[in-house]
Structure 1
Amino acid sequence: MNNIHRFIQKRFFLRTRHAHPFGIVLDIDGVLFKGRNLLPRVKEAFSLITDKNGNFVVPTVFLTNGTNSTEKIKAAQLSEQLGFRIPADHVLMSHSPLKMFTDLHDKQVLVVGQKNARSIAKGVGFKKVTTIDQLKNWFPHLDCTDFSRKIVDPKETEAARKRFKPVEAIVMLGEPLKWESSLQLMLDCVLTHGSE
């Protein structure tokens, strides 16, 4: 718990001109936006906590449980939609706390998520990343939920075995598109202690 407290304190409670006894934490989805549309009076509300240059006068953090982008991309989107600059370090994605798990950053991790899971995992500090999609492509015979991939070329399987490094940790970056297939492969990794 101390790590989380230090992470939040170090990251967010700086960079305002005046000291305040409070800060503001805003959920993005459903609080500022409904779908892609800015909710009424949001810009007016921000005028109460920013100066004429768009700088926050109260420490403000934006949260989202989204897993499909980085803090930098989300901050740029917010900046464009709100009409003033939102620094990337004022945005906390659901995967942002993974930066604290430095003891796992050098381990071989299996990353589960959607299209850009690999780049997001690298962005939060993981150096040795295998994605579920890579695992499916290397070992199609292990995916018992996708019968279209059952025909396997032995030469390809042998090449995949050479590329494959045993999984030391599994990182979930959100729901995969084909959860049943991903669940099968994650269980295989757990039951075989990360081996193929």
Structure 2
Amino acid sequence: MALRGSLRAGRALLRRPPSRGLCSRPPAFGFLFDVDGVLVRGSQPVPAARRAFQRLADSSGRLRVPVVFLTNAGNCLRSAKARELSQALGLQPPPTTGFPTIEGVILFGEPVRWETSLQLIADVLLSNGNPGAELQDVPYPHLPILACNMDLLWMAEAKMPRFGHGTFLLCLESIYKKVTGRELKYEALIGKPSPVTYRYARYLIQQQAEKQGWKAPIRRLYAVGDNPMSDVYGANLYNNYLKSAQQSQVQAGLKRSPQAASPQAEVSLELRNDCNSSVESCESILVCTGVYRHNGDVPKETVETVFHGHRDFSFDPSLVEASYVVQDVDDAVQLAFKKENWS
């Protein structure tokens, strides 16, 4: 994982003198912030987080650039998380949005009592949603399952990483296969590093810019996280997705005539939607205050062969190489400001 050079590059950018007199122009960039390990550790804010948001907010506590908090944690209501972050960072309460109702088994985050939850979920799957009935045959395919968090590890107040929802999924998958002899299948995997999560975050970023009246199109996203296997992997995967969308746009002739693309050059609806987006790139910034700790003595081969990602995601070592590595979230914000010539 080629991180040492990235750390030097990040420090070099931070040493540049700040630009002045440019804060009045509308931002052409936005931030995607992970929460645990970047802004807070358990219930305690990371010291650099408040400094970072003092740069991002004006004197009244309103954000000067669009920001989305991109966390896989689903163990509390969004309104409660918004209040918690606002108090920790000294902001006005971040806005929250609703989700559609989905039928099936929805797995948001690791439970407190794993054995009880594993048993109940297995009961629902093996009984086709009717645990009180006695079924002679195990239904397969089973009920739809939607998993919203694949993180194997995360950081709280403890010095060592904690087992995350990805570890719970690993247990569930192993138990289901051991009992039935078949693979557990997911209707969808949402949350980092899934590209659909970043596409929705991009939509929210653009929505914020429109509500604030910022006329400049949002061209670049900076994804700040502490976990190479989810935050960095996901941001890089989405960056590749954006490049594919741009290539499809050129090949299909969408720049010249969106309605005149030939059948041979048709692209999928998802890529077509991203072609219509102004966002061109998503750069990953890795901080050292959470799961990842910079250690130049760790051999590259050791890091790259231990894949913490979900079994349904193929491992590409290049996707865990961050665009930049910095010490904390305040350094990450300063680095983005330097790149954007923003003060």
TM-score normalised by the chain length of structure 2: 0.30
TM-score normalised by the chain length of structure 1: 0.48
| Structure showing greater relative contact order (alpha-carbon pairs closer than 8 Å, 6 or more residues apart) | 2
